[in-house]
Each structure stands twice: as C-alpha cells, then as structure tokens.
Structure 1
Amino acid sequence: MPSLTSRLFGPGFSPVFWWILSQLTPAAIIVVAARVLHSFDIIHIPTILVALTSLLSIPLLRVVRVLFRRWSVGRRAARMGAVLPPSWDGQKFGNMDLVKIGMEGWKKGYPGDGFWTNSQVDKMVGLHSVTLLGDTMYVATDANILKTILATQFHEFEKGDHFKYAMQDVLGEGVFNADGWHQIELIHFIFISRFHRAMTRPYFTRDRISHFEMFDRHADFAIKKMKAHFQNGHALDFQDLISRFTLDSATEFLFGQCVHSLKYDLPYAYNDRPSPAVATAAKGAAARFAEAFSEVQDGLAFRLRVGWTWAFQEVWKGRTDVHMEVVDTYLQPILEEAVKKNRSLVAKPEKEAEDDDDETLLDHLVKQTQDPKVLHDETLNIMIAGRDTTAATLTFAVYLLCLYPHVFQKLRAEVIEKIGPTQLPNFDDIRTMKYLRAVINETLRLYPIVPFNVRVATKDTTIPNPNASKPPIFVPAGTAVTYSVFMMHRRKDYWGPDALHFDPDRFVDERLNKYFTGNPFIFLPFNAGPRICLGQQFAYNEMSFFLIRLLQNFSHMELDLNAQSPDSRPPPEWLNHEGHRGKEKIFPKTHLTLYVLGGLWVKMTEAEREEL
C-alpha cells in the first residue's frame, strides 16, 4: 500500500505536491521572516500572532491569486483578440454550492446533471466556464470545439498532469494515459506516446479484427448459459453476462488464454434467491478479477469528480489499492509466461515463423519490449477498453431492443434475410447489414461509451466561439476543457427535433445527409483525431457478431422490471422530462464508461426449432 508521502507527492513530485507547496509558501515566508527579525533583535513578534498571520495568509493569497489570474487572463485574451466564455457562478464562497450540485448530480442524477444541464447552464449553449475553489474549467458540448481540441489543434491540448496522476496507479503509462505532444515533452512523446500506439496499431488489421471463430465459441457458450437460465424461469442480468463474454474474448485476443469467466454461476435477481449451495459458492479468480476491474474504475471516476482533493481523501487508504492487488495477482503470471515464450521463440526463429498466425496481441507487444511495467500498463489499458466499452454498448443495445420491439423485429428480419437462422456471419456479411450498423450507431449516439472526457491547454490558445459571429474563445495555459459527447449527441440543433429519441433510421434515411454527413464531428463515440480508438473496427465486429447470434437464437426479448432492485430504478421525477430520459426503465450511471446501475434484467424467448 502506498505511503502517505507517495500518495500526496508521488514519484518525481506530483501535481498535488506542487499545489501544496504553492499554498504553504506564504505561510512559510511569514514564519521565516519572523524568525529572522527575532534572531537579529530587530523586532519580536508574538508566536500567536505569527501563527494567525500564517494561517490567514493561505486563503488571502488564494483570493489574491484568483483576482490576479482574472486580470491577467483578461489582458492575454485581449492581446489575442479573443473573449472569455460565459461563466456559471454560484452563491457561496469558492462556489461550494456548485461543487455540491456537481457531486449530487453524479451520485443521484441522470448523466449530465450538474455542470452540464440546469436552468442557468441551458442558456449558455455549447460552452461555459465554472470556477470551483479557485480553479477554472471550461465545459463544452460544441462540435467545432471538440474538433479543435481533438484534431485540428490536437498538439495544444493534453490529458493533463492531474488526470494522469489520478489514473497513475491503475493506467500507469499505458496508451490511454500517455501524453507528450507539446514542445517541452517532445522527447517524452517520441518514446512514450508514439511508442505506445505504434506497438498496438499494426495488430489491428482486418485479419486480426475478424476473429469470428473466437467470438463464436464464447458467444455460443454465453447463449447456452442464457437458455438454461431462462428455461429454469429466471430473469438474467445481461450486463453481467455480456461483461463476461467481452472479458473472455478480450483475454483470449490479448493473451491467447481465456479467463473462462462465463463458466461460473450467473447472478440471480434480488427477488429470486438461489439455493444456499449456489448462493455461497466460492468465486473463481476470473470472477474476482472482473469485480476488481469494476471497483477500480469506480475509484478512478470518483477522483476525477472531486479534483485534486482526492489525494487528501486517500492518504491512509487508496480507493484502488486492494482491487489492484487482485488485478495484478491475476495479470502477473500471464505476462511472465509471455516473456518466457518470446525468449524461446527468439532462440528458435524457425518456430516463430510457424506460429506467427497464432500470435496474440501480448505476443506482439513482447516483441517490442520486455519492460515489465510497459507490458503491465499496456495490457491493462487495452483490456479495460476491450472489455468495458463493448460490454456497455451491447448492454444498452439490448436494453433499447427490449424497449422498442418494432426495432427488434426489423433488425431480426435483416439478420434472418442476410445471414439466415443458423449460419455463421463473416466480415463481408456484417458490412452489408446497414440496419444492424444503424442500431449500433444509434445506441452509441444516445449512450456513448465514454460520456465525459477532458483535455488541458498546454499554452495560451483559442477555440472557436459557439456563436460564430463573435471573436474566438481564449483558453489560458493549464485550463481544463471538459467535454461531453453524451450531451453533444443529444443536441437538437445537431441531430434534429427528435434528437432526444431513439430512432436507428436516422442513420439510413435522409437525416443522415442532412445532419451527420456535412458535420461528422457531431458523432464521436470512439473519439477523434490522432487519439481515435485503435480498436474501433474490432469493437464493431464483436458487437455485430454477438447481436447476430443473439437474434438468431431468440425471437423475443423484454425487460423484467420486477427483477430490478428498488434502489436501481429510475426516480419518478424523470417521467416529467422530454425525450429518452422520460422513458428510462433503468438507471444509467458512469465511472470511466457508462453502465446500468444494478444490472440489466431481461427475459427472452427462444426461436422456434422449425425456424432454426
């Protein structure tokens, strides 16, 4: 477990260390000055007065810094011919009331409640700023702003020191936590950022992303588990099952060996208690690994919500420590075996040529480096992405198919027509299924995998003004631009008057050209620019394949709302809201990715034998 010192200061002095140092500097100066004056018999200041002055200097300096920053930012903005965004201001000191609103929105509200949507923020379309405890951040949902920070001015924005430090004990220096595009860190970028993506990008070729035989083995096992559960009259938590499917697929794709999380008993609903033998069955290593994975992400999400104060809240015990021990215990032997395998191949190059077709992503990474930390960080980063993002999208896709039976029937008709009731789909089959892609895209539009994200300006710069007739917006160096794909995907000015409603046809009818084709940055479920998701096509193939197999085997699906625990049901006040929020039957929540609170409980009807 990390010590107090490492938690606050971290290796190489963390951003928290520098923040502490900057806050304590005036107090330290006062104490030192008082000692000097006393030692030279110039003046003796009572100890109590020195102590009080030192304590008061900390908030006073904070206020002075905030005022000076406002003055400085205003002058720098004027020199660049730019303006500042509208500001959302609270009623209490340090905007503590806004901090409370943000935290309550995250804990109890709908995604986006708090900083993204309320009566005051709704008037500031596309961009506003909010200052919490003296730190200012920008909040954006404007497509041109997202295009700027993710693509056209990508080199001027990074994830930032505070983000990387909060993620450090989990993501390390992996591909999703690596920065280094600005001039001061150019060498770091060459050896870290490019290196990480260069290691993984060549592996995601058409042959590698079309592992349909692997998908089929795991999908077949998952569907058999589902049928057995339904035949015994039980509702099923589809979110749990599909997370196991993606974990098994991801670990086989990554390591060449599956964790077999699907072989363990599926959970039962809160109102459907299993026999004592099942209820007390010991969890396997894979199940503990999967649970630890989820707990780790909850801890990371909390840190991002509370900002730099997380380090003080985790002085004695880190939120991720115990869970990362479980993850590392599972991961370490696999990494050591991969290194050993590579060394034996190097000793016998003819064997390497023979086995190249069976090369896993980890085998590929080991060829690039055998640094244990790099291998650990890369595999963990990719595993998190490979498991949770695909599982989340499939969970919400099945939820929407249950909620909209006519979409289910239309999609199933396409599956039977294009593929047949039992045939195994291939890469070309999936490419021809336009409605299937439309259903997936519409799911990603309403429930994007990573709903909220952040970039930090590396220097004074500007971004487009949402009001095109006005000057650009000034972004001071070090300012975080927090953006929400979730909120942007639901903007009526981008997607039309029905933007808040689920309708896959918008991706195949005239609305596609009217809204999306001319402005593709209004749809960013996989990010954009140089950091676009490396596994995008792999994810599309995996999601498409599983949905095809699911609809081949089941002719009807529905939500079992009685199986949902009461504390995971949407609050009654949501019914008063426009669009999909008013129709929700589940509670969407977010850590690093979206998920359904309490699971997605469903029942399905098997397809008739004659049809199969």
Structure 2
Amino acid sequence: MQPKASKYPGVALLARLLGGGAAFYLIVTAAVRFTAKARPDTPLWALYAAAAASLPVGFAIRLNIRGFMLRRAAARMGARPVPIVPGERIGNIDLLFRLLGDFKTGYPGDGMTEAIDAMGNTFNFRVMYDDLLFTTEPHHIKTILATEFDNFVKGDKFHANMLSVLGTGVFNSDGDMWKFHRSMTRPFFTHNRISHFDIFDRHAEHAMSQMKLRLRAGYAVDFQDWISRFTLDSATEFLFGNSVDSLSAGLPYPYSVIPPEAPSGRGRTAEDFARAFSEAQFVIAQRPRKGWVWPLFEVFGDKSEPAMRVVNAYIEPILQEAIERQKALSAVEKKADTEVADDDTVLDHLVRQTTDLVVLKDEILNIMIAGRDTTAATMTFVMYFLAMHPDVLSRLREEVLTKIGPSNRPTYDGIRDMKYLRAVINETLRLYPAVPFNVRESKKATVFAASSATEKPFYIPPKTMVSYSVFLMHRRKDLWGPDADKFDPDRFLDERLHKYLTPNPFIFLPFNAGPRICLGQQFAYNEMSFMLIRLLQNFSKVDLAPEAQNPETRPPARWREPDEAKWDSRKAIEEFYPKMHLTMYAHGGLWVKLMEADLVEAPLAA
C-alpha cells in the first residue's frame, strides 16, 4: 500500500510532542509524590520547584552525554566530529530563521557561503539539536553518490518532507521502490527515438511564431515564461501524447501593460497547472531547511495541499483514461512490458508496467520536474548569458549557421558535432545547475576523507542528514581556477578542461552521478540544443529588458554592497534574480527583446 501524506502534519507532530510531555509530567508527578511520602516535612511547592529547576540541568547533561558518545564513536573510527556552526540563540534557532530568510529573499547559497568562509567546506548546520551535515567537497559527494551509494539514501525524513508532492516516485524512494520506478522508465529514455525531434520541432515552430507576434507588436518577452510553455507543451505530448497547448493562451505582457484579455480554455488550464505545480514545489523545498520542526509551520494543514488539488485535477483524468484503455485491450493487443514502439508515449509505456493510479501519478510528476522544470531553467540561464555576452552569442550563432544552416532542421549528428554549443550549455549548468542543493541520509556510521593528509577524516553518524551543493562546488576557485566566477564556455574546450575537470570529474555534476545519475541527461541536451539552434536561426541578437519586469522582482540593490558581494562575486553583477525551490528559476522571469535574423542569410564559410 502506498503511504499517504498527513493532511495536518503540524497536528501530528504536536500530538507526539504533547504525548512525550504528558509522559514526562506523569513521571515527575509520581517522583514528587514518592518524595513527599518519604519526606513529609518537605513542602510540595519546593519539590515541584526543584523538579522544574532540574529540567535545564537534565537537558544540558543529556547534550553533554550525546556529545561525549559522538566523540567516542568518532575516535573509534580514527575520525573527528564535523564542526558545528555556532548560533546565538538556544538550539541555534537564529540560524534557522536566517536560513529561511535567505531562502526567501537572498541569493542562492546565502548563509552557507558565510559558514564555508568561517568553517571550511564541510560543517554541521545543527538547528534545534538536529544535525544537518553540509559539504561542497567533491570527494565527499563522490562518497555519497557513488562509492557508498547503498549507505546514503533519501531516507525517512526526506521522504516525509516530499511525500505530499513527489509521492513515492523515483526522486523520493529508495531500495526496491526506487529500482521499480527506475526500471519502468529506463527503456524509454535509452531508446533512440526520432519522434523526440518531431515533438520539439512542432512546438518550437509554434513558440517562435508566438514570440515574433509579441516582439513585432513592440513588447518585450518573458523568456522564462515562453520556454516554460514550450517545455510544458513538449513534455505533456512526450508524456501523454496530448499537449496542453499552453502557448495558445498567448504570452504575458510586461507588468505595466494591462492585458487585453485573460487566458481561457486549455491555455488557462495549462497555466493553472504549471503555477500550482511550482507553488507545491516551493512548499516542500522549504521543509528540509526547517529541520524536524517543519510541521509546526503547517499546523493548520499541509500547505502543498491546495496546489496539489489543482495538479491532481488536471493529471488524474488523463491517467485514468490511459488505465481504462489498457484494461480494455485484449491479450493479443497488449505489448510486452518492456517493449517500446517509436510512437509510444511515456504513459503508454508505464501503463503496461502498472495500472496503479498513485504509482503512475507519482512517476509522471517526478518526470515532469526532471524533464520540464530543469530544462526550462537551464534554457533561461543560457539566454541570460547570451544577452550578457554578445560575443558568445555571435560565435555560437556562427557555429549554428555553419553546421546546421539558417533553416535546416537540427539532427542528432549535427548536434553532436557542435562543440561550442555543448560548451555553452555546460558552462551555464556549471554556474546555474538546475538542482543546486540536494540531500541524503546515512544508514550506518562512516567517514568522509579529510582534504589533507595531516587531518583526521570526518565522522558521519548513522541516520544523519547530509546535504551537498553542486551550485557552490561548481564556483570554487580552488577547483575551477581563479576565474571560476566568470562565464566562459571555453573552459570546457581549452587547457583548463584537462587541468581541472579531466583529472577530477566529480567537480562537475549537473546531472548527478552514480546509480542515480539522470536517465534523461541526453534527452535534455538534445532538447536544449534543438531549441537553441532554432532560436539562433530565427534571431541574431538578444538584449535584457528589465524595464518590462516588476521592480520588486529585480535583483536587490543591497547585492551590490561590498559586505553582501564578498561571499559570491557574481552576486554583485547579476542582472536577474536567481531563486530556487526544488530547481532553480528566475524570480519575476527573464524579460528580453530579440532581433529577428534575415531569413535568407547564407551559411558562413567553414
């Protein structure tokens, strides 16, 4: 039976806390009564006062015993405990609220970068006496994802945090359930299907026409919204065989322009679905940052539940129809479970594995995040960098016109031959990996190797959350060179590739690594490459248009201040507002103006 998320997670936690408190009260009361009988001359108020005064003493003793046991366990393995980031309030509660504030209004990595500067690349962000180990060391991340893969799982805490949205899908499961979900989709993503490019081409043509209409009317375009509609339409056709056609609703206008009419019909349904899915992800992304007390922030109900009602209302009828269609097939008509025809959708393939509505929904939504949200985010950041670096755009467009031509459809072979295109995508993924932070839970005690031979390794206790950030690792100057904070695609082509990445491949992990490496990695590269080629065949220049954006969603002026910018030098120069839930995105969108290319432009000489 599939586990269900609690509708009132805060009430459930309060019940456990009150239950523990009630048990403690009964124990104290019994002790006081026993003492009163033994010493009848002692006033009851004095006994209760003594019991109350013993609480903080007892708690302090418990913490000291816990620390002592931790140090002993570490010493037995020849290791040392991970250093704890010091807070200023009881339980380091100030760190919790600072982290939540940074998550809401800061630059990605704010809070963690300061701790790295003070503590090094591995530390314990302990809040409310609950350990959260954190690292940006590539050899530690390699241990988590590859060499000790079986010892680092998503775990019960992460599963509880994400259950209300991700269910038991591939991103929120371990063991046999993870293997089951992985095996369901593996044949589909390893199959070299030309129909993928058919889908891309159909929706790219529609997307280009919508963009040109808006640009020719004199308006800037929110590229993030535009590419998100393209990926949503492509993803829903890829998954279900039937696109939601969100592009048909028309593109949004700049914030100061009153839209002539609100979207309706299929377009409105698609927008509602996309918005609700994003809101649900934002809710669950905050939970790990709140530690074990997160349900207390949702004491009046699961905050993801209203958004998920919208998501389920859209997706469940589609799944139910596919289930009924599969059940109606005769034994002769049914294909083998693992057989994948070129005209199959993902859902066609999945319903041959299972007709369990919950399993299907969980897997589809997990794929939607992996295949749609991450691609849209990366394409948005690519366009941002092309606007900021016109020399890169010019060189990339020259490669497109030389290798593909001004109007030819991209092919697998053509894309594979475009080295600079891949370098531009990789450099974007380095600075803005779609999934910037991730977390695992240790099953048993282990150690993380020290960075130098003179230091003891770090002790990792059992059942402990360990977070890691490829976002921060990708920006480390000791791993990528002194220009690590600069956008330069040539680092994936020149001598820096062999100096930094080739000898240490775990410093670049935009698609994860080890057994959980992204199955859709090549699919994502193909989709992004295809769309970039089509864009540069149609447009020759791109400029940012911040005046079209709501001022409240532009980068805060305080990011330019030296005290703010010292932790990440990109923070002071960014012209957009990067934020994150489970994946990264541009807060308020990325508003741009593009110049159409000459449609009869001849290919450049090789």
* 2:524 corresponds to which of 539, 546, 549: 539
Query: SS of the counterpart of 1:88?
Result: coil
* 1:88 aligned residue: 85
Sort the Cα spacing of 1:135 and 1:213 in 2 relative to 1 into closer, same or farther, 3 A: same
Q: Which runs of 4+ in 1 moved over 6 A?
A: 2-5, 15-20, 35-38, 40-58, 279-283, 350-355
By how many angstroms is 1:52 displaced?
Answer: 7.0
Q: Which residue of 2 aligns with 1:588?
A: 578
Q: Per the alignment, in what secondary structure is the counterpart of residue 117 of structure 1?
A: helix
Deviates more, 1:63-72 or 1:360-369: 63-72
CA contact 2:550–2:588 (8 Å) conserved in 1: yes
Q: Check 1:559–1:355 CA distance in 2 against 1; reply closer, same or farther (3 A cut).
A: same
2:225 maps to what in 1?
A: 240
- 1:356 alignment partner, SS class: coil
Deviation digits for residues 363-392 of structure 1, max 9, x if unmatched? 111111111211111111111221111110
User: Which residue, out of 289, 294, 319, partners 1:310?
Assistant: 294
Q: Deviations over 1:144-195 (max 9, x none)?
A: 000001110111111222211011111111100002xxxxxxxxx23x1211
Tell me if 1:290 matches 2:274.
yes
Percent identity, aligned pairs only? 50
**What is the alpha-carbon distance in structure 1 between the residues aligned to residue 43 and residue 120 of structure 2?**
55
Matched-pair contact (CA < 8 Å) for 2:11–2:299: no
Distance 1:35 1:372, change over 3 A: farther
Name the CA shift for 1:62/1:329 in 2 (closer, same or farther; >3 Å).
farther
Superposed displacement of residue 557, structure 1: 0.6
Matched, 1:74 2:59: no
- Contact 2:32 2:48 (8 Å CA) reproduced: no
1:79–1:23 Cα change, 3 Å: farther
1:530-578 deviations in whole A, cap 9, x for unaligned? Answer: 1111111111111111111011000111100111211111122323436
Corresponding residue number in structure 1 for 2:28: 30
Partners of 2:88 and 2:580 in 1: CA distance? 28
Residue type of the alignment partner of 2:273: F
**3-state SS in 1 of match to 2:535:** helix
Within 2, Cα distance between the matches of 1:45 and 1:259? 77
Q: Which amino acid aligns with 1:361?
A: V
Contact 1:27 1:55 (C-alpha < 8 Å) held by counterparts: no
Q: Residue 323 of structure 2 corresponds to which residue in structure 1?
A: 339
Partner of 1:109: 106
Instruction: From 213, 221, 237, give the equivalent of 2:198.
Output: 213
From 375, 383, 398, the equivalent of 2:360 is 375
Task: Tell me whether 285-294 or 154-163 shows the greater mean CA deviation.
Answer: 154-163
TM-score, normalised to structure 1, is: 0.90
Match of 1:399 among 364, 371, 384: 384
Measured at CA, do residues 92 and 433 of structure 1 come closer, stay the same or move farther in structure 2, by a change above 3 Å? same
* Aligned-partner Cα distance in 2 for 1:335–1:131: 42
Query: Residues 37 and 521 from structure 1, CA distance in 2 versus in 1: closer, same or farther, beyond 3 angstroms?
Result: same
Partners of 1:507 and 1:563 lie apart in 2 by: 34
CA distance in 2, matches of 1:43, 1:254: 76
Equivalent runs, 1:449-528 vs 2, <5 Å: 449-528=434-513
Amino acid across the alignment from 2:342: D
Distance 1:172 1:4, change over 3 A: closer
Contact kept, 8 Å, 1:415 with 1:551, in 2: the verdict is: yes
Kindly provide the amino acid, as one letter, of the partner of residue 332 in structure 1: E
Deviation, 1:99, is 2.1
State how far apart, in whole Å, the 2-side matches of 1:359 and 1:47 are: 77
| Contact 1:451-1:593 at 8 Å conserved across structures | yes
Partner of 2:591: 601
Q: 2:313 aligns with which of 325, 329, 351?
A: 329
Which of 424, 429, 434 aligns to 2:414? It is 429
Rate the CA distance shift 1:49–1:438 in 2: closer, same or farther, 3 A. farther
Alpha-carbon distance, 1:47 to partner = 8.6
Deviation of 1:307 after TM superposition, in Å, equals 1.9
Output the CA distance in 1 between the equivalents of 2:18 and 2:393. Answer: 55
Answering whether residue 118 of structure 2 is matched by residue 160 of structure 1, we say: no
Residue 220 (structure 1) shift: 0.8
User: What TM-score do you get using the length of structure 2 for normalisation?
Assistant: 0.91
Q: Which letter does structure 2 place at the counterpart of 1:396?
A: F
Distance in 2, matches of 1:44 and 1:356, equals 88
**Native 8 Å contact 1:448 1:485 kept in 2:** yes
Corresponding residue number in structure 2 for 1:551: 536
Aligned-pair CA distance for 1:57: 7.0
* Structure-2 separation of matches of 1:518 and 1:609: 44
Are the aligned partners of 1:128 and 1:139 in contact in 2 as well (CA < 8 Å)? yes
Quickly say closer, same or farther: Cα 1:171–1:278, change in 2 above 3 A: closer
Query: Matched residues in 2 for 1:308 and 1:56: separation?
Result: 26
Q: Is the 8 A contact 1:556 1:604 kept in 2?
A: yes
Q: Structure 1: where are the runs of 5+ without partners?
A: 180-188
**Residues 431, 46 of structure 1: CA spacing in aligned structure 2 closer, same or farther, 3 A cutoff?**
farther
Gaps of 5+ in 2: none
**Who is 1:140 aligned against?**
135
Would you say how many aligned residue pairs link Structure 1 and Structure 2? 593
Kindly provide the CA deviation profile for residues 369-422 of structure 1, in whole angstroms up to 9, marking residues without a partner as x: 111211111111111221111110001110111111100111010000000000
In structure 2, distance between residues paired with 1:311 and 1:551: 47
Q: Is the 8 A contact 1:222 1:245 kept in 2?
A: yes
